[in-house]
Amino acid sequence: MRYIYKIFNEKDRIQFDREYNDRINFPATKLLGLKIKPEDQPNEYELYYVPTSDIISLVSEIHLISRKLKKTYDSLPSIAKKQFILEYLVEELYNTNDLEGVKSTREEIAKSAKDVELNKHSNLRFESMVKSYMRLRDGDISLPNLPEDIRKVYDDITQGEIDNPELPDGDIFRKDVTYVLKKSGSGKVVHTGISPEARIKTEVGNMIEFMNNEEIPMLVKVAVGHYFFGYIHPFYDGNGRTSRFISSMYLKEELGDIGTLSVSRGCNKFKNKYLESFEITNSIKNRGEMNCFIEKFLTIILEALKEMNAEMKEKSELMSIAMGKINKDPNLTGKPDKYKHVMLVIAQNYFFDSSKGITVKEISGELGFSTPTIRKIVNELLDLSLVEQTGKRPVYFSIKKQYFEN
């Protein structure tokens, strides 16, 4: 099915109006109960989509790749699982910041993430955002039921990152007007967020109600809800980060923990397509049709999941080879099994964590051996030239790269 906005460019007004009326009256067409008004236009249009074979195929492929991803993940050693999730959580947070133009590094997010995991109160940047994603990962966050729940998500995701003049100044949301500018940087206004605040509350409530509509497939609802949140634009700043987190909340219900970590990564990789799809859907020539946005959004999720699956399979294969090498290493023959256990922990860190390495304390926490015992073993592994160390206070240990090449 050709997108309605493309037909707008090909036919005169009468022909286009006929095509639009025919389309919204298709027996299969789903009217969604959410309305938009394109910029500088007098008419409102109800959002709708036509369940095409393309959408059905995308939904099916996403479920299929998610199952493959989970199967590979379940086959990993326990420490590799933990580090894989943590690594991709850091990647997701970095990408959502990058999309918003928030300056951050993977290293500082990883440091915040590790401190949160260890229950350390470091007052580092992004600590609140990290905690939100970790609560989501651990199943400690409930889906929103009220507009106030959306504000709570916003506060947690953006804490300490929004300048005071850009913070919400209404009862829950903003009370003044805000604008979305064209992605090209021309300064042209392509969308004005809904106002006043009373209407924002109403439309956010409508969005939450729509997300509870069991007649629409969840993945389609996530795409539609993601667009409509951007259309409402309830805050002056931080809308994108908040919207992507909310989408992740619903994706977790459908795809599990790993699917949760695909939204920002995919949106950032396909940033131009992602932003362009909002502009198209907001326009008068699109008349509320959601097919283009749904298909582009689901394609972004699918491609991110495929990339994650490929990376995980490669790391899983490398980890299998490493385990075989460690178990047969003549340097470890005759030594207690705990030496191999330590090597396997350091190997999992090597393949599944891009940070500097792993500390004695972290190895001790993973294996349940005392830190003096781990320190003694690691020093012997250093003498055998199986591992190397970097840094001071703390010292990080890593498998020597040459170990796997020989």
* Residue ranges of the binding site for ATP: 237-244
**Which of 311, 308, 306, 280 lies closest to 293 in space, CA to CA?**
280
- Tokens representing 207 are 């969005």
Distance between CA atoms of 132 and 140, rounded to whole angstroms? 9
At residue 114's C-alpha, the angle toward residues 108 and 117, to 5°, is 145
The crossing angle, in degrees rounded to 10, of helices 53-74 and 291-328 is 20
Q: Which two tokens stand for residue 74?
A: 């379940």
Q: What is the dihedral of CA 369, 371, 372, 376, to 10 degrees?
A: 80
How far apart are alpha carbons 323 and 309 in whole angstroms? 21
Q: What angle do CA 172, 174, 177 make, to 5 degrees?
A: 155
Judge contact between 301 and 55, C-beta under 8 A. Answer: no
The H-or-E segment that residue 192 falls in is: strand 189-192
Collect all residues with Cβ–Cβ distance below 8 Å to 312 and sequence separation of at least 6. Answer: 69, 72, 73, 76, 84
Q: What share of the chain is helix, strand, coil (3-state, %, to 5)?
A: 65, 5, 30
Residue whose C-alpha is closest to residue 267's, from 227, 246, 297, 224: 297
Query: What is the set of active-site residues?
Result: 233
Q: Which residue type occupies 239?
A: N
Q: Which pair of tokens denotes residue 365?
A: 């926490």
